[in-house]
Amino acid sequence: MRWIYFGTGLLSARFLEKLISRRLVPKLVLTGSSKPAGRGRKMTHTPVFMVAHDKGVPVIETKFLDDPVIIRKIQIESPSFLVVFDFGQKVPSKILELPRIAPLNVHPSLLPKYRGAAPIIRAMMDGEKNTGLTIIKMNEKIDAGDIVLQEKVEIPEDITRGELEEILIDIGCELLRRAFNGLKDGSIKPLPQSGKPSYAKKLKRDELWITWNEEATTIKNKIHALSPIPGARSNFKDRIVQFLRVRIPDNFFLKLNPGRIYVDGKRLYVGTSTMPLEILSLKPSGKREMTAQEFINGYHPHNLYFTSR
């Protein structure tokens, strides 16, 4: 089966790596172009480029998919399928027309819900109990193509986004294999999306900051939706702290002001507008991830405050 993969980001890189480990290997990978990063502004390849390069899969970096050279390279491969996941560029119609069977998009939501750039983050921040993974036959409209396959996934209460993503990409590998086979032999007939669409807009930097006078459940959802990266954050002693895992305690009756820190032995709590949250793991800037006890021992935070930006 000849197919070409389009991807750029970390999630797309992890998906590509898992596909290759399961012997679903593309003939060619297309990814975004290198960009300057870090303090030295060194040119850095995309995560997808690094996976493809390490696995020996031919990979092309591009800023513009409508480049005639790119189009010709795709034509030469004569692919049955294109597979797009977390690519970051709109795929033009002249490329969507090239595969012999179908251009496919892998989208981590139950389409038509959460179309757009940040479906997993937005679903978790909204407190959704379920999400899923959908494979669509692409058209020119973003995330609006006919559904090839879709699988619903429960979002466990205290899961982080990183953990949920691993579940979804596992499912995605199997769905993609089934989509290839079913579309090739005609046993799968794509169906139009039904229901009212919702949209998952791109995350803004200001949204990374925790507002402690919000409800505990809202803050917990944000922390887990942004964990492990980019990390929901707050200030503490002129240092940024990222919160990675929290829980709402079953039995804790002390009322704390929003942002106030309370230490009870090895346990670390912080006040919200409703009930306190127990902090399980966090990461001060420039430091490694810490347990609550490690943070208590190193920073002595009792009766101090985490503050918003």
Residue 40: what pLDDT?
A: 62
8-state DSSP, 305? B
Instruction: Break the chain into its structural domains and give their ranges.
Output: 3-200, 205-299
Q: What's the distance, CA 108 to chain centroid?
A: 8
Residue 253: what pLDDT?
A: 76
Determine contact, residues 169/17, Cβ cutoff 8 Å: no
Q: For the stretch 222-251, what's the b/e string if a residue is b when 16 or more beta carbons lie within 10 angstroms of its beta carbon? A: bbbbbbeeebbbbbbeeebbbbbbbebeee
Exposed (0-12), middle (13-18) or buried (19+): which is 213, by Cβ within 10 Å?
middle
- How far are the Cα atoms of 121, 129, 209, 297 from residue 154, in angstroms, in the given order? 15, 6, 27, 37
- The structure tokens 């799968």 sit at 188
Q: What is the pLDDT of residues 230-282, one digit of tens each?
A: 999 999 999 999 999 999 998 877 889 999 999 999 999 999 999 999 999 99
Pick the CATH number of 205-299 from 3.10.25.10, 1.10.540.10, 3.40.50.720, 3.40.50.300: 3.10.25.10
Q: What's the longest Cα–Cα distance across the chain?
A: 68
Which tokens hold the place of 40?
A: 């030295």
Determine contact, residues 246/223, Cβ cutoff 8 Å: yes
Task: Tell me whether domains 3-200 and 205-299 share a fold.
Answer: no
- How far are the Cα atoms of 73, 81, 102, 151 from residue 69, in angstroms, in the given order? 6, 19, 21, 37
* CA distance linking residue 128 with residue 151, whole number of Å: 15
Relative to beta strand 261-264, strand 267-270 is: antiparallel
Residue 74: what pLDDT?
A: 97
Q: What is the pLDDT of residues 288-306, one digit of tens each?
A: 999 999 999 999 999 999 9
Spell out, as residue ranges, where the chain has pLDDT lower than 70.
36-41
Residues in the chain, overall count: 309
Residue 39: what pLDDT?
A: 65
Residue 38: what pLDDT?
A: 62
Residue 5: what pLDDT?
A: 98
What pTM was computed for the model?
0.94
Homologous superfamily, domain 3-200: Formyl transferase, N-terminal domain (3.40.50.170)
